Amino acid sequence: MAKVKMTVNGRQVGSECDDRTLLVHFIRENLGLTGTHVGCDTTQCGACVVHMDGRSVKSCSILAVQAAGSEIVTIEGLSSGGELHPVQAAFKANHGLQCGFCTPGMVMTSVDIIRRHGAQLDEATVRAELEGNICRCTGYHNIVKSVLAAAAEMGSAKEAAE
């Protein structure tokens, strides 16, 4: 058993876990944060995406002990004071979800895409970047629309702040 400490959603946490515990299971079972979904355990679907030290990662491909000392943000850590993150709001406004199973991973991946590309995103880039996230309900049209809307919104907010 290993003692794992990290910062999750701005809060210092620690727990004992088996050395082979995946980060996704640590988050869900040890911390009780069930917004991060387990879809495949093989890095195929993207339902388990979280941010680790500012970058999106598939938490089913990382051991909890590898994440020790890192800063992790889960879907629960995106909203602030009951206010949805702009990407979450865009998914809601543009019907970028159906059953909701892939949504946490899609949203977390989208936040990272926008962080890296800014408001200059185009449809082809969004589709290419979302390739590692599977949605079995949609044709991705509204998901892409949501990401582009969020990028535009976040770009406008950034420009207004400057």
What is the DSSP code string of 138-160?
Answer: --SHHHHHHHHHHHHHHHHHHHH
- pLDDT for residue 162: 55
Q: Which tokens hold the place of 116?
A: 């890296």
Please state the domain count of the chain.
2
Same domain, 91 and 70: no
What's the mean pLDDT in 139-157? 91
Same domain, 7 and 71: yes
Classify residue 30: in a domain, yes or no: yes
- How would you write 24-64 as a 3-class SS string? HHHHHHHCCCCCCCCCCCCCCCCCCEEEECCEEEECCCCEH
What CATH number has the domain bearing residue 137? 1.10.150.120
| More reliable by pLDDT, 84 or 120 | 84
Under 8 Å CB-to-CB from 44, ≥6 apart: which residues?
134
- pLDDT for residue 139: 80
What's the mean pLDDT in 54-66? 97
Comparing CA positions, the residue from 53, 75, 66, 73 lying closest to residue 23 is: 66
Same domain, 10 and 62: yes
What's the mean pLDDT in 61-81? 96
* DSSP structure class, residue 73: E
Q: Name the domain boundary from 59, 77, 95.
A: 77
Report the b/e string of 33-46 with b at 16+ CB within 10 A: bebbbbbeeeeebb
Same domain, 6 and 73: yes
Same domain, 73 and 6: yes
Range of the domain at 8: 2-77
What's the mean pLDDT in 66-89? 96
Q: How far apart are CA 88 and CA 82, in angstroms?
A: 12
pLDDT, tens digit, 9 for 90 and up, residues 82-105 = 899 999 999 999 999 989 999 999
pTM above 0.85, yes or no: yes
Same domain, 60 and 111: no
Same domain, 72 and 132: no
- Asked if residue 71 has pLDDT above 80, the reply is yes
Classify residue 162: in a domain, yes or no: no
Q: How far apart are CA 129 and CA 131, in angstroms?
A: 5
Length of the chain: 162
Same domain, 91 and 150: yes
- pLDDT for residue 40: 87
- pLDDT for residue 157: 62
Q: Which tokens hold the place of 152?
A: 């535009």
Q: Name the domain boundary from 60, 77, 94.
A: 77
| More reliable by pLDDT, 69 or 158 | 69
- pLDDT for residue 41: 76
Same domain, 123 and 64: no
Average pLDDT of the chain is 94
